[in-house]
Amino acid sequence: MPNPINTEHFWMPFTANRQYKAKPRLLAGASGMHYTTDDGRKILDGTAGLWCVNAGHCHPKITAAIQQQAGTMDFAPTFQMGHPKVFEAATALASIAPEGLNRVFFCNDGSEAVDTALKIALAYHRVRGDGLRTRLVGRERGYHGVGFGGIAVGGIAGNRKHFGPALPGVDHLRHPLDIGRNAFSKGLPEHGAELADELEQRIVTLHDPSTIAAVIVEPIQGSTGVILPPKGYLQKLRTICDKYGILLIFDEVITGFGRLGTSFAADFFGVVPDMITCAKGLTNAAVPMGAVLVRQDIHDTFMQAAPENAIEFFHGYTYSGHPLAAAACVAAMDVYKEEGLFDRAASMSPYFEQAAHSLKGLPYVKDVRNLGMVCGIELESVPGKPTARAFDVFLKCFWEKGVLIRTTNDIIALSPPLIIDKPQIDQLFGAIADVLKAEKPVPDVKTVA
């Protein structure tokens, strides 16, 4: 029997803490595609942790690189100093980034990457003498982390309403989810690219376009339920941003590092943004790290604008480019390349798609949407309990089926490590199918974000 745990002190993030205490779910070990629970059960990881462990858990090369670095140099500042691994990590990232995004600013997670990118955008316009560009544009149901910048451009009421006004001057485009027209689309939805025109029709005309600094979007809105861009949508955003001198930021915290079978979603869509925010798969999640990939000439503008010997951009974190994170990043990039994991994701995605859509027609399944190695399964909600059905499926998958899934409202989101094989894909969707077939009226479970 595992030791009972003391749940009295840890305030759990994005968790129904009181409900959790009643029956704690504990992960105690991990390897490859699996977690092990504290009571020794093996759990198939259908979510790559939190969309992050792309090469599978405890990859020996990444573990060894971290151990080696921890024994060589634990910490070194990157303010007016440097260490070899951080330059190596930036070079490795630039080598897989879309063309032109050659500069890398390191931070510690996705939230910091978003706030950093927004600050780069605002400062960039200012250093070029275009300082009236202060407005930012995000989207409804966008998730950009929990910093004040991120919750301002994000479009999730629950993340904002308790915290007062975050940043002024933010507009939100409508999200493109349209189950009415696009239900059970395989891959990109056909309908809805015109929603990108809102940027021009509504926002640019509502404000003087020369006051808009940047538009930030997730190529796929992950955390709010796998909302895919309709065909042509991101291309339209790029065209409108170009027309009005607005920077386009892709938040690729989820879509980066092979999730769609390419290094970044930008490559998949053939749309090059001005900046990319990333984290998670950046180190295969073994050490926290985030980064912003920045267009070379944006960086160069800062260099040219500041006087010789001056600090060009007043921003940074104690742990920007932390040696352990940098070592994990370099190792993760090597592993992705050596094991061909992005190509593997591309070649496995048709099987994943077919397995996802096999759920169509099962009780309560309202929509299935997928791209690359990510999918969302939207369920009919229990009236008055808009998160209960999917959460109940999550609990049954965890306790009864040995499978980890993720839910947001009544949407199940799956994003397994890219090493998943066909029998494991069958196990994952088979478990969900079995639970849905046996689903009875939902007990009174409490909800999570």
**Contacts to ligand PMP by CB under 6 A:** 109-111, 114, 143-145, 218, 222-223, 251, 253-254, 279
Measured from the CB of residue 256, what is the shortest distance to ligand PMP in angstroms?
9
Measured from the CB of residue 109, what is the shortest distance to ligand PMP in angstroms?
3
Measured from the CB of residue 283, what is the shortest distance to ligand PMP in angstroms?
11
Measured from the CB of residue 150, what is the shortest distance to ligand PMP in angstroms?
6
Residue 110 or 192 with smaller CB distance to ligand PMP: 110
Question: What is the three-class DSSP state of 361?
Answer: coil
Q: In 108-225, where do the E strands start and end?
A: 135-139, 170-173, 212-217
Residue 193 or 265 with smaller CB distance to ligand PMP: 265
Alpha-carbon Rg for the chain, nearest whole angstrom, is: 22
By beta carbon distance, the residue nearest ligand PMP is 110
Question: What is the three-class DSSP state of 275?
Answer: strand
Measured from the CB of residue 94, what is the shortest distance to ligand PMP in angstroms?
21
Measured from the CB of residue 279, what is the shortest distance to ligand PMP in angstroms?
5
Residue 33 or 282 with smaller CB distance to ligand PMP: 282
Strands 247-251 and 212-217: parallel
Residue 279 or 329 with smaller CB distance to ligand PMP: 279
Residue 83 or 322 with smaller CB distance to ligand PMP: 322
Single out the residue of 124, 151, 104 nearest to residue 282, CA to CA.
104
Residue 254 or 393 with smaller CB distance to ligand PMP: 254
Residue 109 or 410 with smaller CB distance to ligand PMP: 109
Residue 226 or 330 with smaller CB distance to ligand PMP: 226
Task: Pull the structure tokens for residue 254.
Answer: 């989820």
Single out the residue of 318, 328, 287, 323 nearest to residue 85, CA to CA.
323
Distances 340 to 12, 290, 333, 406 between C-alpha atoms, Å: 36, 23, 10, 26
Measured from the CB of residue 355, what is the shortest distance to ligand PMP in angstroms?
23
Query: What residues are paired with 291 via a beta bridge?
Result: 106, 278
Measured from the CB of residue 320, what is the shortest distance to ligand PMP in angstroms?
15
Q: Tokens 């994943």 appear where?
A: 352
Residue 86 or 220 with smaller CB distance to ligand PMP: 220
Cβ neighbour number for residue 86 with a 10 Å cutoff:
23
Give me the torsion for CA of 429, 432, 434, 436, rounded to 10°.
-140
CA distance 401 to 35: 13
Give the containing element (helix H, strand E) for 330: helix 323-338
Amino acid at 383: P
Measured from the CB of residue 449, what is the shortest distance to ligand PMP in angstroms?
11
CB proximity list for 230: less than 8 A, separation 6 or greater:
176, 178, 182, 188, 189, 190, 191, 192, 193, 195
